[in-house]
Amino acid sequence: MITDKEWEANLKRLNDLAMQNEVGIKPLYEKDYLKEFYDFYEIKNRKAKLVPAEEGFEETLKNVSGEYRWEAIAEKTKSLFGLPLRVTVFDDDTKLKEELEGPDGLAPFFFVFDMMFCEYGEYTLCFISGSNN
Protein backbone atom coordinates (compact mmCIF):
# COMPACT_ATOMS: atom_id res chain seq x y z
CA MET A 1 0.00 0.00 0.00
CA ILE A 2 1.39 3.37 -1.00
CA THR A 3 1.42 6.17 1.58
CA ASP A 4 0.04 9.65 0.92
CA LYS A 5 3.57 11.02 1.03
CA GLU A 6 4.78 8.51 -1.58
CA TRP A 7 1.73 9.21 -3.75
CA GLU A 8 2.41 12.97 -3.65
CA ALA A 9 6.09 12.35 -4.51
CA ASN A 10 5.05 10.18 -7.48
CA LEU A 11 2.63 12.85 -8.65
CA LYS A 12 5.36 15.50 -8.45
CA ARG A 13 7.77 13.30 -10.45
CA LEU A 14 5.16 12.71 -13.13
CA ASN A 15 4.15 16.38 -13.28
CA ASP A 16 7.78 17.54 -13.46
CA LEU A 17 8.44 15.26 -16.44
CA ALA A 18 5.14 16.13 -18.11
CA MET A 19 5.65 19.89 -17.74
CA GLN A 20 8.98 19.57 -19.56
CA ASN A 21 6.81 18.34 -22.44
CA GLU A 22 4.14 21.03 -22.02
CA VAL A 23 1.63 18.78 -20.28
CA GLY A 24 0.24 19.59 -16.84
CA ILE A 25 -1.16 16.99 -14.45
CA LYS A 26 -4.00 17.92 -12.08
CA PRO A 27 -5.15 15.32 -9.55
CA LEU A 28 -8.88 15.19 -8.85
CA TYR A 29 -10.23 13.37 -5.81
CA GLU A 30 -14.01 13.67 -5.88
CA LYS A 31 -16.27 11.01 -7.36
CA ASP A 32 -17.73 13.73 -9.60
CA TYR A 33 -14.31 14.77 -10.86
CA LEU A 34 -15.77 16.78 -13.74
CA LYS A 35 -17.49 19.08 -11.24
CA GLU A 36 -14.24 19.30 -9.25
CA PHE A 37 -12.39 20.17 -12.47
CA TYR A 38 -14.94 22.85 -13.37
CA ASP A 39 -14.86 24.29 -9.83
CA PHE A 40 -11.05 24.31 -9.62
CA TYR A 41 -10.61 26.16 -12.92
CA GLU A 42 -13.69 28.35 -12.26
CA ILE A 43 -15.39 27.26 -15.48
CA LYS A 44 -18.70 29.01 -16.05
CA ASN A 45 -19.84 27.30 -19.27
CA ARG A 46 -20.26 23.72 -18.05
CA LYS A 47 -21.90 22.23 -21.11
CA ALA A 48 -18.98 20.05 -22.22
CA LYS A 49 -19.47 16.45 -21.13
CA LEU A 50 -17.01 13.62 -20.70
CA VAL A 51 -17.20 10.54 -22.88
CA PRO A 52 -15.06 7.39 -22.83
CA ALA A 53 -11.99 7.75 -25.03
CA GLU A 54 -12.40 5.59 -28.12
CA GLU A 55 -8.70 4.75 -28.11
CA GLY A 56 -6.67 3.35 -25.24
CA PHE A 57 -4.55 5.26 -22.76
CA GLU A 58 -1.44 5.54 -24.94
CA GLU A 59 -3.20 6.60 -28.16
CA THR A 60 -5.31 9.14 -26.31
CA LEU A 61 -2.22 10.54 -24.56
CA LYS A 62 -0.47 10.69 -27.94
CA ASN A 63 -3.39 12.75 -29.29
CA VAL A 64 -3.42 15.00 -26.22
CA SER A 65 0.29 15.64 -25.75
CA GLY A 66 1.64 15.26 -29.24
CA GLU A 67 3.31 12.60 -31.32
CA TYR A 68 6.84 13.32 -30.11
CA ARG A 69 6.15 13.95 -26.41
CA TRP A 70 3.75 11.26 -25.27
CA GLU A 71 6.00 8.22 -24.81
CA ALA A 72 8.02 9.45 -21.82
CA ILE A 73 4.84 10.66 -20.10
CA ALA A 74 3.06 7.36 -20.75
CA GLU A 75 5.97 5.29 -19.43
CA LYS A 76 6.31 7.41 -16.29
CA THR A 77 2.54 7.30 -15.69
CA LYS A 78 2.44 3.50 -16.03
CA SER A 79 5.50 2.99 -13.82
CA LEU A 80 4.22 5.26 -11.05
CA PHE A 81 0.45 4.69 -11.18
CA GLY A 82 -0.23 1.78 -13.54
CA LEU A 83 -2.74 1.86 -16.37
CA PRO A 84 -5.92 3.80 -15.65
CA LEU A 85 -9.18 1.93 -15.20
CA ARG A 86 -10.85 4.25 -17.71
CA VAL A 87 -9.87 7.19 -19.90
CA THR A 88 -12.32 9.97 -20.72
CA VAL A 89 -12.21 13.04 -22.95
CA PHE A 90 -14.58 15.94 -23.65
CA ASP A 91 -17.22 15.52 -26.33
CA ASP A 92 -16.66 19.13 -27.43
CA ASP A 93 -14.11 21.26 -25.61
CA THR A 94 -14.08 24.34 -27.85
CA LYS A 95 -15.79 26.75 -25.42
CA LEU A 96 -14.02 25.17 -22.45
CA LYS A 97 -10.60 25.84 -23.96
CA GLU A 98 -11.58 29.48 -24.49
CA GLU A 99 -12.31 29.81 -20.76
CA LEU A 100 -9.12 28.06 -19.71
CA GLU A 101 -6.85 30.07 -21.99
CA GLY A 102 -5.44 33.54 -22.03
CA PRO A 103 -4.96 36.21 -19.43
CA ASP A 104 -8.15 35.34 -17.52
CA GLY A 105 -7.96 31.53 -17.70
CA LEU A 106 -6.61 29.45 -14.83
CA ALA A 107 -5.10 26.61 -16.86
CA PRO A 108 -1.37 25.89 -16.46
CA PHE A 109 -0.82 27.19 -20.02
CA PHE A 110 -1.75 30.36 -21.88
CA PHE A 111 -2.88 28.25 -24.85
CA VAL A 112 -4.65 24.95 -24.14
CA PHE A 113 -4.43 22.26 -26.80
CA ASP A 114 -6.20 19.23 -25.36
CA MET A 115 -7.25 17.33 -22.20
CA MET A 116 -7.89 13.82 -20.98
CA PHE A 117 -8.85 12.21 -17.68
CA CYS A 118 -7.43 8.94 -16.34
CA GLU A 119 -9.56 7.27 -13.67
CA TYR A 120 -7.80 5.22 -11.00
CA GLY A 121 -10.65 4.48 -8.60
CA GLU A 122 -9.97 6.78 -5.64
CA TYR A 123 -8.60 9.60 -7.79
CA THR A 124 -8.42 10.83 -11.36
CA LEU A 125 -5.47 12.41 -13.15
CA CYS A 126 -6.27 15.19 -15.59
CA PHE A 127 -3.70 15.72 -18.35
CA ILE A 128 -3.77 19.17 -19.97
CA SER A 129 -1.48 20.03 -22.86
CA GLY A 130 -0.69 23.52 -24.03
CA SER A 131 1.91 26.20 -24.48
CA ASN A 132 2.95 29.53 -23.04
CA ASN A 133 4.63 30.57 -26.30
Share of the chain above pLDDT 70, in %: 99
pLDDT digits (tens, 9 = 90+) for 67-88: 888 999 999 999 999 999 999 9
Query: Are 24 and 87 a contacting pair, CB within 8 Å?
Result: no
pLDDT at site 68:
84
- Model's pTM, two decimal places? 0.94
pLDDT given at position 133: 80
Q: How far is CA 28 from CA 13, 31, 55, 68, 83, in A?
A: 17, 9, 22, 26, 16
Instruction: Give residue 16's pLDDT band: very low, low, confident or very high (50, 70, 90).
Output: very high
Map out the domains of the chain as residue ranges.
4-33+83-128
Residue 31, pLDDT > 90, answer yes
